[in-house]
Chains A and B, each alone.
Chain A
Amino acid sequence: KEKHKILHRLLQNSSSPVDL
């Protein structure tokens, strides 16, 4: 995770789940 910290941070920010 440390190695992929930008992706990790981007995904953690304001995830809005979609439920259809």
Chain B
Amino acid sequence: YSSPTKPTGNKVISHLLMMEPTPVCAMPDPTTPDSDIKTLMTLCDLLNRELLVVIGWAKHIPGFSALSLVDQMALLQSGWMEALILVVVSRSLSFTEELVFAGNFRLDRAQCRAAGLQDLYTALKHLISKYQQMHLSPEEVVTLKAMVLANSDSGSVENPEAIQQFQDVLHEALQDFETGRHPGDPHRTGKLLMTLPLLRQTANRAVDTFCRLQLEGRVPMHKLFLEMLEAKM
């Protein structure tokens, strides 16, 4: 995951890059002894704070705040996990074995298996490996992150035309960027858009995993995270 070195040539993407939030750190409870439950607690707490960041960040996507409040809610309720997955994916791109949930919180296959996250590990590794092969750039990460909200296929939107326009702006930005950055690969925009089904499938896997953890009642979850999980049930 290289840092952007050249000007993007596209103002929407430059704006998205500028608005990228500071990475969130894991805050394991120092009074709890290390265990699989502690791993899950740390993860759920981290994702709850990351979710808060995603909601704040969404307001800075060009066009998002112009949507009605009802439609902003609908897009976030549908697309929040895909956005979170992209955050984890982008952090994990330069790692071969570990999922990098935060700079100070990385989990390998064995740790995931022990915590009951084996399916999620496998699904995430599959997605990460796809993006590693494509050498996904930071510009593409931020644009895809905005796109997953715009393209979240919520069934309860008030103004589909406004959402279509919101999608079109992001699509045009990505196309414009790829034309300048990858002139030798005219299909790169399409290739990126074709990763969205796998991204959604991975996010659904993650939602299932956290719903199961919630039902098992072994891990306390924050209210915001629960509220957003319930919106997906």
Interface footprint category on A: 10 to 19
B62 partner residues in chain A, CB cutoff 8 A: 18-20
Task: State the CA gap A2–B228 with chains docked (Å).
Answer: 13
Contact with A along B1-23 (1 / 0, CB 8 A): 00000000001100100000000
Q: Is B55's beta carbon under 8 Å from chain A?
A: yes
B52 partner residues in chain A, CB cutoff 8 A: 10
B69 partner residues in chain A, CB cutoff 8 A: 8, 11-12
* Interchain CB contact under 8 A, B230 and A11: no
Interface footprint category on B: 20 to 34
Most buried by B among A5, A18, A20: A18
* Interchain CB contact under 8 A, B11 and A4: no
- Of B70-78, B117-125, B129-137, B177-185, which binds chain A? B70-78
* Interchain CB contact under 8 A, A10 and B55: yes
B223 partner residues in chain A, CB cutoff 8 A: 6
Minimum CB–CB distance from A2 to chain B (whole Å) comes to 11
Smallest CB gap from A7: residue in B: B73
A interface majority secondary structure: loop
Minimum CB–CB distance from B157 to chain A (whole Å) comes to 15
Task: State the CA gap A5–B153 with chains docked (Å).
Answer: 22
Q: Is B96's beta carbon under 8 Å from chain A?
A: no
B55 partner residues in chain A, CB cutoff 8 A: 7, 10-11
Q: Is B168's beta carbon under 8 Å from chain A?
A: no
Which of B56, B61, B227 makes the CB contact (< 8 A) with A18? B61
* Interchain CB contact under 8 A, B224 and A6: yes
B56 partner residues in chain A, CB cutoff 8 A: 10
Question: Assuming the A-B contacts A6-B224, A10-B55, are A16 and B60 also in contact, with contact meaning beta carbons closer than 8 angstroms in the complex?
Answer: yes
Known: A6-B224, A20-B12. 20 other contacts (CB 8 A): A3-B230, A4-B77, A6-B223, A7-B76, A7-B224, A7-B227, A10-B52, A10-B55, A10-B56, A11-B55, A11-B72, A12-B69, A15-B59, A16-B60, A16-B65, A17-B66, A18-B15, A18-B61, A18-B62, A19-B62
Residues of chain B touching chain A, judged by Cβ–Cβ distance below 8 Å, are 11-12, 15, 52, 55-56, 59-66, 69, 72-73, 76-77, 223-224, 227-228, 230-231
10 contacts between A and B (CB under 8 A): A6-B223, A7-B55, A7-B224, A7-B227, A10-B52, A11-B76, A12-B69, A16-B59, A18-B15, A19-B66
